[in-house]
Structure 1
Amino acid sequence: MTHNGIHHVTAISGPARRNVDFYTRVLGLRLVKKTVNFDDPGTYHLYFGDEAGAPGTIITFFPWEHAAPGRLGVGETQQTSFRIPESAVGFWTQRLIAAGVDHEAPRKAFGETVLAFKDPDDMRLALVAVPGIESEPGYAAGDVPAEAAIRGFHGVSLLLNKTAATGAILTDVFGFAEAGRDGPVTRYRSNAAMGSVVDLHEAGGFLRGRPGAGSVHHVAFRAENDAAQAAMAEKLATAHGMHVTEQKDRNYFRSVYFREPGGVLFEIATDEPGFAVDEPAESLGQALKLPAQYESSRARIEAVLPALG
């Protein structure tokens, strides 16, 4: 297996200020990049992660002020989960209660304790207690202490009509291996430290999902560099019949995209160059960063973007 794992997850949200408040204040993540949607510069693209903005920790959002809610269905991400130390389950249960966050009671899945909850847009999230990660560095933010902090992604759960073809891509292209089954759910795992789990939930005949606020736009998998990304794209085309886009420069990584057989939009994103390419690591997320093609329109763009705080 290779260290591919999940690079980031990108979702759609409602109001930007509410989105920032929840992910920084309630979940204790760091806003590591404040930029715009490269295809729609009148709206933000916000990135949250650990202190360094490391691959495997990043959840990103396209916030639209009046976005209609999405609808859960096949062909989309059912749940996005984060890793926490086992000792932090009590802390997070009490924190969600205190913050009035819609959540379920802790339950067991694949031998792990899972605390499922929803963000203000009803995006389906979970905290998964992982043994032995207490010594990993945690980002202390506000009243979330470092010892209880989120330690990047655990993984994603995809809701699909059929799972075999998607599983073949996970194993053959991304270096995952089947790691267990629980009813209609098959777990695949890589040996990456973070973002190492993809659960495929087979739900034939279920309604298709409808994108909107609270739904995931795409899931991105890691490639160490351009060469690794190109090799994956080639294998997707030749061995799996997938149409892969040309590479797109997203400033902080370079990306190709394809829609996997179940309908979920997948991305392959390079680890390089990272989020410190255009601002110092200690001040990540403080200034609005624009791609070069929009810099001449900065004043107009800043005038239409809503205040975040």
Structure 2
Amino acid sequence: MNHLLGIHHVTAMTDSAERNYDFVTKVLGMRLVKKTVNQDDIHTYHTYFADDRGNAGTDLTFFDFPNLPQGIKGTNSISRIGLRVKSDAALEYYRKRFDEHNIKHDEIKELFGSKVLPFEEADGQAYQIFSDEHNEGIPGGIPWKKGPVPEDMAIYGLGPIEITVGYFDEFKTALTTIYEMRIVEEHDDVALLEVGEGGHGGQVILRKDSEKQAQQGYGLVHHVSFRVADEDAINAWMERYHKLEIGNSGIVDRYYFKALYARIGHILIEISTDGPGFMGDESYEHLGETLSLPPFLENQRESIESQVRPFDTIWKGE
């Protein structure tokens, strides 16, 4: 089966891996499952936050670029990250939690039939949490069992990813023809599309905005990735790109998964395999506690560790 199965991960940019770690673990209650380096810039961190076991479809990841300027929000960008909780009651829990931690947020509102809670990280990164109370489709993951948020309230997966473009009709056509997304609902300047079994774990919210162009920097999203089952499936996608004459990266071995990148307009879209996953080089009990390097970087460990500043990611509880 070569079809997209849903969202695999979302990767954003932060100005501080330490502050971001505190926010995602201590406030959002997501587990750090891998602390590694950006394989394309090995002297900077790449952190992966996910569910209890790092399942595909739950990964929120960050590149740490301390010297990058702050991003400027605008059109032609991935404009908001979606996260999932099990119920409307969990949204109310996070609303109160955000007040306690002085996190900037809007009030709970309705979007495409689901209750959502929009909020921002300190660096301006935009998120919204979706309630799965009336959601059907791709299942969520496993809430972090030892995290600071009760399991029945905790974030347990990625929700709809929001993309804003000036070329709305053209991009919508690309999503439906290249990636075989289905239009669920559409209005003049916004459309909801989905892949796989559908629901929050496989949805894209596409918005039209022809105003100010976004400029990449910290506080913005770098790319979104969609899931495929295995190596055969990602090979089939590379062949599909070639037939459609879409420029792409070729298949890249990220050790934790295989990846294939293509830029559609301004948006970097990755396709990733569900496995091997994050459990192969660390035990369940100690995920994310030390710097993990894929085998092809292990011989550079001493040099890498001398250049990335250490920071403590051993979870001691809130």
TM-score by length of 2: 0.90
SS of alignment partner, residue 19 of structure 1: helix
Percent identity, aligned pairs only? 32
Contact 2:16 2:64 in 1 (8 A): yes
Size of the aligned set, in residue pairs, is: 306
Gap change, CA 1:135 and 1:155, over 3 Å in 2: closer
Tell me how far apart the structure 2 counterparts of residues 35 and 271 of structure 1 sit (CA, whole Å): 18
Matching residue of 1:104: 106
1:46-125 matches, within 5 Å, as 46-84=47-85, 85-125=87-127
Secondary structure of the residue aligned to 1:228 is helix
**Alpha-carbon shift at residue 97 of structure 1 (Å):** 0.6
Match of 2:295 in 1: 292
The alignment's C-alpha RMSD in Å is: 2.1
Which residue does the alignment assign to 1:258?
262
Using the alignment, how far apart are the partners of 2:63 and 2:222 within structure 1? 9
Distance 2:236 2:111 in 1: 34
Does 2:230 correspond to 1:225?
yes
The answer on 1:279 being equivalent to 2:285 is no
Q: Which whole-Å deviations, capped at 9, do the CAs of 1:127-146 have from their partners, x for residues lacking one? A: 11121579974224443100
Alignment match, 2:315: none
Residue 35 (structure 1) aligns with: 36
> What are the ranges of 5 or more consecutive residues in structure 2 without an aligned counterpart?
313-318
Q: SS where residue 108 of structure 1 aligns?
A: strand
Q: Which amino acid aligns with 1:78?
A: S
Per the normalisation by structure 1, the TM-score is: 0.92
* Cα deviation code 1:231-274 (max 9, x no counterpart): 223333324x421221111010011110013x100111111211
Asked if structure 1 preserves the Cα contact closer than 8 Å seen for 2:25 and 2:31, the reply is yes
The amino acid across from 1:143 in the alignment is P
Judged with a 3 Å threshold, the aligned counterparts in structure 2 of structure 1 residues 199 and 170 are, in CA distance, closer, same or farther, namely same
Tell me the equivalent position of 1:44: 45
Tell me if the contact between 2:114 and 2:134 (Cα under 8 Å) persists in the aligned partners: no
- Please state how far the C-alpha of 1:171 moved relative to its aligned partner: 2.9
Letter in 2 for 1:202: K
Q: Summarize deviations over 1:185-236 as a string: whole Å, max 9, x none.
A: 10002215663110111113x2221111111111111111122112223333
Residue number in structure 2 paired with 1:245? 249
Find out whether 1:236 has 2:238 as its counterpart.
Answer: no
SS of alignment partner, residue 271 of structure 1:
strand
Supply the distance in 2 between the matched residues of 1:187 and 1:193 (Cα, whole angstroms).
10
CA distance in 2, matches of 1:40, 1:124: 25
Query: What SS does structure 2 have at the residue aligned with 1:148?
Result: coil
- Structure 1 CA distance, aligned partners of 2:311 and 2:81? 24
Tell whether 2:126 aligns with 1:128.
Answer: no
- 1:166: how far off? 2.9
Residue matched to 1:197: 203
Q: Which residue of 2 aligns with 1:308?
A: 311
CA 1:275–1:136 in 2, change beyond 3 Å: closer, same or farther?
closer
